[in-house]
């Protein structure tokens, strides 16, 4: 027995020395239940006895562990509890020590502490199997003698037996150092003498026993410093908790790239950009992208150039039209320095002062507004130079009669000749109307034709037509009649093609007499139409 205990002690010591912080030790408290000839052949706890022990667990991986255990306990049986064989009247008890090496398979892997994930997520089921040795000290009594019992009492069987443990259990980590589990296992043996009875019982079946109870463990050396369920030796980041799929390293932003390889650990990104985000998906990480929300190109710092003119949209005043740098990206088709949108002549090079239009004669007037685009002129002449067509010393734009020479004091118009004035004077008293109406007489029309000839002769002169009456009748009627007669003359001139802007008319009634209304001759003088040619505009 001393050799057996020494072997187990050596085995435990070896595990501790090699564990390097991946070892758990613990105690076991539970029961042992025998199944053989001296007990009811069911899985009852009728004759259960106390068991306890110590164990060491070596964590090979998340799901596979090696466990060694040393268990002390007792098994017992009594025919008094076995109604089918009271005549045998046998009983036994056997203290035992079991040492075993087991392999465990954890279905869910090592769990996180209960306080972190809750009890249900912390619990993990497992199964185990292995090989061990049991040291038994069996003491059997027979109350009645029989040849079979005598043979069993005289049988020389070994106290050391090979056992094959198999079982299952569940455990959970209370915290990063302490675990608690419930374990139940069957011990197969290769002997029928655990109870000292074979010939007096059923010699065809070997004896079995069960062990079950509660196991409390403590992690030696804190094998999982960051408490992420991965032992330090297997943990690439032993001081930072992380998932198993990343070898225990954290991925703070959950982008599939561990923080130690993630250039942007606080922002989800892509592996191609070392874990950094790229909101506009232009292949440039946001931290290096001057326009992170608008897809662009690398040579522009990630900013777009929509019109492909080499000027980024941020600096391009015309981002949808290809342009030139000097105009901040706006187009200038005629290359005159004036952008097309402000160029009144976008296809002809021109001057900025003239909104991009050309000025061929350099007179400050754009060609499209210059009536003389190839002769320097001035604005008042619409771009044409000053002229004196009639050579009277007065330029045309100041000359009322540019085609007729005349003195400056008469606005460049010739003086009306004496004989022409006589025609106007004669017409004043000889243009007649039907009595009491504004209808011109045929002879009057001939006089009006002569006046038209004078207007053609004196181009540039304006004509004023003033109608007058005597004082016979009501003044209001006379005023209206005088105006109608003046207008009748105006209408005749208009019908004959005289420019209407050169003619004005008015009626004055009896207000401007030139003769005595008390006499017939005076009243005849007052019934008149005056025709006044003048360089002045009426």
According to DSSP, the β-strands at 503-507 and 462-468 are parallel
Joined together, the tokens standing for residue 496 give 């004959």
Classify the phi-psi angles of 258: left when phi > 0, otherwise alpha if psi is within -120 to 50, otherwise beta: beta
Percentage of the chain beyond pLDDT 90 is 49
Residue 253 has pLDDT above 70, yes or no: yes
Q: How confident is the model at residue 108 (pLDDT cuts 50, 70, 90)?
A: confident
Q: What is the pLDDT of residue 21?
A: 42
Q: For the segment 362-373, what is each residue's pLDDT rounded down to a tens digit?
A: 989 998 998 889
Q: What is the pLDDT of residue 247?
A: 81
- Please state, in angstroms and as integers, the Cα–Cα distance from residue 301 to each residue in 267, 292, 493, following that order: 20, 10, 80
Q: According to the 3-state scheme, what is the secondary structure of 54-92?
A: EEEEEECCCCEEEEEEEEEEEEEEEHHHCHHHCCCCEEE
Q: For the segment 181-196, what is each residue's pLDDT rounded down to a tens digit?
A: 999 999 999 999 999 9
Q: For the segment 469-480, what is each residue's pLDDT rounded down to a tens digit?
A: 999 999 999 999
- Please state, in angstroms and as integers, the Cα–Cα distance from residue 212 to each residue in 28, 66, 181, 263, following that order: 9, 19, 11, 52
Residue 223 has pLDDT above 70, yes or no: no
CB 295 within 8 A of CB 283: no
Q: For the segment 373-396, what is each residue's pLDDT rounded down to a tens digit?
A: 988 888 878 888 778 787 777 887
CB 407 within 8 A of CB 444: no
Q: What is the pLDDT of residue 18?
A: 44
Q: How many CB atoms lie within 10 A of CB 43?
A: 9
Joined together, the tokens standing for residue 384 give 């044409």
Q: How confident is the model at residue 7 (pLDDT cuts 50, 70, 90)?
A: very low
**Could you give all domains of the chain from N- to C-terminal order, each with its CATH number?**
2-234 (2.40.160.20), 346-385 (no CATH), 418-534 (3.30.1330.60)
CB neighbour list of residue 71: distance below 8 Å, 6 or more residues apart: 28, 51, 52, 53, 97, 98, 99, 100, 211
User: Which residue do the tokens 């019109």 mark?
Assistant: 307
Kindly state the average pLDDT of the residues 523-528: 91
Cα–Cα distance, 402 to 387 (Å, whole number): 9
Q: What is the pLDDT of residue 6?
A: 52
Kindly state the average pLDDT of the residues 215-234: 74
In this structure, which long-range contacts are made by residues 365-368, counting pairs with CB atoms below 8 Å and at least 24 apart in sequence? 368/344
Residue 16 has pLDDT above 80, yes or no: no
The torsion angles phi and psi of 63, rounded to 5 degrees, stand at -115, -15
Average pLDDT of every residue of the chain? 87
Dihedral of the alpha carbons of 512, 518, 522, 523, in degrees to the nearest 10: 70
Q: What is the pLDDT of residue 505?
A: 96
Cα–Cα distance, 410 to 413 (Å, whole number): 6
Residue 351 has pLDDT above 60, yes or no: yes
Q: For the segment 299-314, what is each residue's pLDDT rounded down to a tens digit?
A: 888 999 999 999 998 8
Q: How confident is the model at residue 86 (pLDDT cuts 50, 70, 90)?
A: low
Residue 332 has pLDDT above 60, yes or no: yes
- Please state, in angstroms and as integers, the Cα–Cα distance from residue 441 to each residue in 212, 432, 438, following that order: 149, 6, 9
Residue 127 has pLDDT above 90, yes or no: yes
Angle (nearest 5°) at CA 175 between 172 and 176:
105
Residue 462 has pLDDT above 70, yes or no: yes
- DSSP assignment of 161-195: EEEEEEEEEEEEESSSSEEEEEEEEEEEES-S-SS
Q: According to the 3-state scheme, what is the secondary structure of 421-483?
A: HHHHHHHHHHCCECCCCCCECHHHHHHHHHHHHHHHHCCCCEEEEEEECCCCCCHHHHHHHHH
Q: What is the pLDDT of residue 12?
A: 45
Joined together, the tokens standing for residue 194 give 């655990």
- Alpha carbons within 13 A on the beta-carbon side of 443: 8
Joined together, the tokens standing for residue 44 give 């009852």
Task: Give the largest Cα separation in the chain, rounded.
Answer: 195
Residue 481 has pLDDT above 70, yes or no: yes
- Which has the closest alpha carbon to 516: 525, 505, 529? 525
- Does the predicted TM-score (pTM) go above 0.95? no
- DSSP assignment of 288-318: G-SSTTS--BGGGTTB--TT-SSS-GGG-SS
Joined together, the tokens standing for residue 280 give 């506009």
Strand partners, 214: 29, 182
Q: What is the pLDDT of residue 44?
A: 63
Residue 330 has pLDDT above 80, yes or no: yes
Cα–Cα distance, 519 to 522 (Å, whole number): 5
Kindly state the average pLDDT of the residues 425-440: 89
Q: How confident is the model at residue 110 (pLDDT cuts 50, 70, 90)?
A: low
Joined together, the tokens standing for residue 355 give 């909104």
- Name the range with the highest mean pLDDT among 67-76, 382-391, 413-422: 67-76
According to DSSP, the β-strands at 23-35 and 49-59 are antiparallel
Kindly state the average pLDDT of the residues 8-36: 69
């Amino acid at each position: 027995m001393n050799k057996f205990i020494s072997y187990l002690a050596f085995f435990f010591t070896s595990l501790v020395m090699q564990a390097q912080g991946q070892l758990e030790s613990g105690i076991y408290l539970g029961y042992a239940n025998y199944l053989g000839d001296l007990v009811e052949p069911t899985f009852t706890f009728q004759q259960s006895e106390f068991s306890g022990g110590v164990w060491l667990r070596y964590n090979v991986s998340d799901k596979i562990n090696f466990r060694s255990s040393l268990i002390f306990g007792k098994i017992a049986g009594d025919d008094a509890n076995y109604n089918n064989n009271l005549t045998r009247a046998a009983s036994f008890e056997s203290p035992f020590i079991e040492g075993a090496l087991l392999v465990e398979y954890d279905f869910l892997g090592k769990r996180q502490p209960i306080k972190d994930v809750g009890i249900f997520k912390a619990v993990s089921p497992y199964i185990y199997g292995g090989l061990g040795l049991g040291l038994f000290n069996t003491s059997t009594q027979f109350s009645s003698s029989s040849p079979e019992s005598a043979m069993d009492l005289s049988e020389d069987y070994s106290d050391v037996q090979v056992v094959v443990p198999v079982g299952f259990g569940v455990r959970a980590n209370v915290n990063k150092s302490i675990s608690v589990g419930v374990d139940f296992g069957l011990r197969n043996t290769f002997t029928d003498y655990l109870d000292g009875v074979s010939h007096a019982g059923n010699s065809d079946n070997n004896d079995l026993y069960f062990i079950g109870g509660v196991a409390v463990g403590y992690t030696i050396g804190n094998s999982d410093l960051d408490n992420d369920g991965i032992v330090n030796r297997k943990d690439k980041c032993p001081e930072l908790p992380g998932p198993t799929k990343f070898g225990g390293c954290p991925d703070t932003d959950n982008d599939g790239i561990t923080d130690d390889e993630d250039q942007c650990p606080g922002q989800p990104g892509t592996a191609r950009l070392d874990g950094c985000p790229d909101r506009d998906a232009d292949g440039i990480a946001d931290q290096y992208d001057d326009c992170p929300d608008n897809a662009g190109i690398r040579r522009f710092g990630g900013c777009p150039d929509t019109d492909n003119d080499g000027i980024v949209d941020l600096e391009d005043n015309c981002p949808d039209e290809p342009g030139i740098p000097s105009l901040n990206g706006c187009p200038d088709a005629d290359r005159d320095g004036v952008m097309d949108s402000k160029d009144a002549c976008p296809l002809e090079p021109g001057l900025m002062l003239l909104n991009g239009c050309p000025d061929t004669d350099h007179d400050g007037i754009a060609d499209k507004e210059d009536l003389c685009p190839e002769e320097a002129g001035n604005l008042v002449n619409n771009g044409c130079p000053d002229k004196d067509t009639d050579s009277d010393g007065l330029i045309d734009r100041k000359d009322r009669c540019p085609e007729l020479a005349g003195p400056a004091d008469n606005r460049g118009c010739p003086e009306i000749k004496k004989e022409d004035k006589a025609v106007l004077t004669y017409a004043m008293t000889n243009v007649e109307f039907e009595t009491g109406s504004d209808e011109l007489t045929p002879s009057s029309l001939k006089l009006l034709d002569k006046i038209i000839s004078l207007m053609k002769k004196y181009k540039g002169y304006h004509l004023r037509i003033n109608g007058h009456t005597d004082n016979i009748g009501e003044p209001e009627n006379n005023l209206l009649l005088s105006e109608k007669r003046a207008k009748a003359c105006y209408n005749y001139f208009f019908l004959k093609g005289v420019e209407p802007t050169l003619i004005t008319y008015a009626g004055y009634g009896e207000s401007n007499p030139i003769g005595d209304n008390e006499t017939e001759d005076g009243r005849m003088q007052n019934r008149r139409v005056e025709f006044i040619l003048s360089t002045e505009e009426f």
